[in-house]
Structure 1
Amino acid sequence: MMGSIRLSSFPPAQQAQIIRSNQRDVFQVSSLREQTENVLRSYLGTRWLTRWDKEIDLVVNLVYYGLTVGLATQTLGEEYTDIWPHSAHSDKPPPRQHRAALVFVPTLAPYVLSRSSSALPQSSRLGLILRRLPKVIELASEINLAIFYMRGTYYSLMKRALGIRYISSTPDHQNARPPSYSLLGVLLTVRLLYRLITFVRSMSVANSSHPESVSAKGKRLADISEETFIDDRPVTTMLGPTNPEGEPSVPAEEDEYTILDVSQIPENVRAGRNCTLCLEERTASCATECGHLFCWDCIVGWGREKPECPLCRQSLDLTRLLPVYNL
């Protein structure tokens, strides 16, 4: 079909088409994940969903891109903008191994890195490298995106590595000038330069301090890219284990983060102490900026995926959560 047609007769896809295609795909994947989460939450609970969120994200991406890119068809975004991928080296549709790489590398690689880095000890050298590698990939992707805005080819880093471009079935209009996105590329470059300068300055501050007399502030500056802090305490040291079966990690009567004798509270009052995420009685209660109360583990797990309050949808900042020790 596509292989029997001279692809050179089709004009290259415009930047606007590629950008709209990517935005459409992101929207479709997000919508598919949201619907999947709603179904799983109703049957298995929020805590189970929080525990397996990375696996759910992996499966959703594999299903979407496997049924489109993997089967040599257009994604919904490519179909929406009427563009087709083709190999810049052979002027033919991408071969099977390239399509497999487009499906598995962007989905499996982040998952494997995330799970491997969390399984290794915090102090191990390999664990430190694996935790920093996603940030390196993210930086390379931003550099690639800046180049795309200025040059107009290879929106993703993986497509640049494989030499996969887009052609359009829409003929060019000689009297119409396509929009330019060079300014976005310049702004991204300025942002990258600012991050580079900030990183160099932070390294200079860290190196100017004696290794044996580094203050807590200096430690926080050095580790801020790898850890979230609340009152100079790492969030990971304040999280308890999460039960995948939907039950609270600790019974409310054994909650060490409250001064109340929960067993003496009337049943009708205790019914109002339920967490709206796990639907169980709150333990390690904490308050958001908007004033809603949740279990500490529940709201932190939720906030890492959706930075908004699950009740009122106000913006949620994990560094501004307030632990409440007397409720």
Structure 2
Amino acid sequence: MDFRKARARQPEIVRSVQKDARYTTELGEDLSDILRLTGPRNWIKYNQLCQLIAQLSYHGFASINNLQTLGEEYTGIIQVDGNFKQIPSRLLQLIAIILEFGGDALFLRVLQKLQKHVAEHDEIVPEAKQKLQKFIQSLRQSPSYIKALHKSLFYLNSSKYQLSKRTTSINYVLIRHWLQPEFSLYGYKILGVITFLQVTVSLAIGGWETWKEHKRQQLEALKQAGKSFLQRSESQQRAVVDAPQCILCLEPRQHCSLTPCGHLFCWNCILEWLEERDECPLCRESLKKSQVIQLRNYV
């Protein structure tokens, strides 16, 4: 049988999900009250799991027994496969349930493992490791945007309210379609457009903030590089200033040379001096070019 003509619309699906959420919340609160009886320590430690257990058990029981949930029975809808031919298999329904209520935690867990693997992998060069870490960090924020985009698509024209249903190609059909009230769905379409625009603006703002942060980091890196360069230049200038000077050229001595009288000059400076006169520039003692000794490894 082909159920395409009886495809459920947005109002029935939303009411069904809201009804099931109400029942699972009440079941989670009951489990939390039972857990409280075991002691405050266990309640604090395991209370957050009560809602997850309630959701998995509520929907899992219906799937295993090929039953409608209370919300689906209330609105008169059932689940069918992607071809609108038959009821989805139990395995497919269970996968959809796990993805719906545990998909976010599994996704974040995988990202955490991947981030740890990248950080501990010494063969990855530092620049690539830094880029991978930023990419993984951006993926942590992606589920909320993906869900919002999917919800806007549902409001516009779709029978898949949950992202898990789209992943597993499970559709909803209305089995009491002759009782379907006739009213306009333009309100949902407007809501879909607004949701899409909201997500688009949020993505644009996030991209702009990321770009500004990238530019800020580049500017900071340039400042650090300039600061390091200035520090090296100052150190070199300080080293030049502190170096012993030649009395003839008043510059740091180049190829330091020694006279018999014990005075130090640049090799070229003292030779040029001796071209004019045969005496030491300082003590006026008689001096010849052959008596000047060029020193090695001496500043």
* Equivalent residue number for residue 160 of structure 1: 166
Aligned mates of 1:65, 1:155 — CA distance in 2: 16
Counterpart position of 1:169: 175
Q: Which of 202, 210, 225 does residue 195 from structure 1 map onto?
A: 202
Evaluate the alpha carbon distance shift between residue 158 and residue 187 of structure 1 in structure 2; reply closer, same or farther with a 3 A threshold.
same
**Structure 2 counterparts to residues 82-161 of structure 1, below 5 A:** 82-89=76-83, 91-114=85-108, 124=119, 133=139, 135-161=141-167
Q: Which SS does the other structure have where 1:155 is aligned?
A: coil
State the Cα deviation string for residues 55-75 of structure 1 (Å, max 9, x = none): 333322221111112332111
1:228-272, CA deviations, whole angstroms, 9 ceiling, x for partnerless residues? xxxxxxxxxxxxxxxxxxxxxxxxxxxxxxxxxxxxxxxxxxxxx
What is the SS of the residue equivalent to 1:210? helix
Deviation of the 1:186 alpha carbon: 1.0
- One-letter amino acid matched to 2:51: D
Q: Are residue 22 (structure 1) and residue 17 (structure 2) matched?
A: yes
Quickly say closer, same or farther: Cα 1:113–1:152, change in 2 above 3 A.
Answer: closer
Show the counterpart of 1:75. 69
- Which segments of 5 or more consecutive residues in structure 2 lack a partner in the other structure? 120-128, 222-299
The reply on whether 1:43 has 2:43 as its aligned counterpart is no
Any conservation in 2 of the 1:116–1:127 contact (CA below 8 Å)? no
Q: In structure 2, what is the Cα distance between the partners aligned to 1:202 and 1:117?
A: 23
- Say which SS state the counterpart of residue 193 (structure 2) adopts: helix
Query: Which residue pairs with 1:314 in the alignment?
Result: none
Q: Identify the structure with the greater helix proportion.
A: 2
Query: 1:116 Cα shift?
Result: 6.1
1:282-304 deviation digits (Å, cap 9, x = unpaired) = xxxxxxxxxxxxxxxxxxxxxxx
Secondary structure of the equivalent of 1:69? helix
Size of the alignment, in residue pairs? 208
What is the Cα deviation at residue 85 of structure 1?
0.8
Question: Hey, what does 1:205 align to over in structure 2?
Answer: 212
CA distance in 2, matches of 1:210, 1:28: 50
Report Cα offsets for 1:79-107 as digits up to 9, x if no partner: 11111111132511112331121122223
8 A Cα contact 1:11 1:172, kept in partner: no
After TM superposition, the score normalised by the length of structure 1 is 0.55
Equivalent residue, structure 2, for 1:58 = 52
Using the alignment, how far apart are the partners of 1:110 and 1:54 within structure 2?
15
Give TM-score, length-normalised by structure 2.
0.59
Distance 1:41 1:131 in 2: 37
CA distance in 2, matches of 1:176, 1:90: 23
8 Å CA contact retained: 2:2, 2:84: no
5+ residue gaps, structure 1, are: 1-5, 215-327
Q: Secondary structure at the match of 2:50?
A: helix
RMSD of equivalent CA atoms = 3.2
Cα 1:174–1:26 change in 2 (3 A) is closer
8 A contact 2:100–2:162 mirrored in 1: no
Q: Distance in 1 between matches of 2:179 and 2:23?
A: 30
Q: Which residue of 2 aligns with 1:11?
A: 6
The CA deviation at 1:161 is 2.3
Amino acid of the structure 2 residue aligned with 1:67: F
In the TM superposition, 1:229-248 aligns within 5 A as none
Looking at CA atoms only, which structure, 1 or 2, has the larger radius of gyration? 2
Assess, with a 3 A threshold, how the Cα gap between structure 1 residues 175 and 99 changes in structure 2: closer, same or farther.
closer
The change in CA–CA distance for 1:97 and 1:42 in structure 2 (over 3 A counts) is: closer
The answer to whether the 8 Å contact 2:76/2:174 transfers is yes
What SS does structure 2 have at the residue aligned with 1:94?
Answer: coil
Corresponding position of 2:27: 32
Which moved further from structure 2: 117-126 or 105-114?
117-126
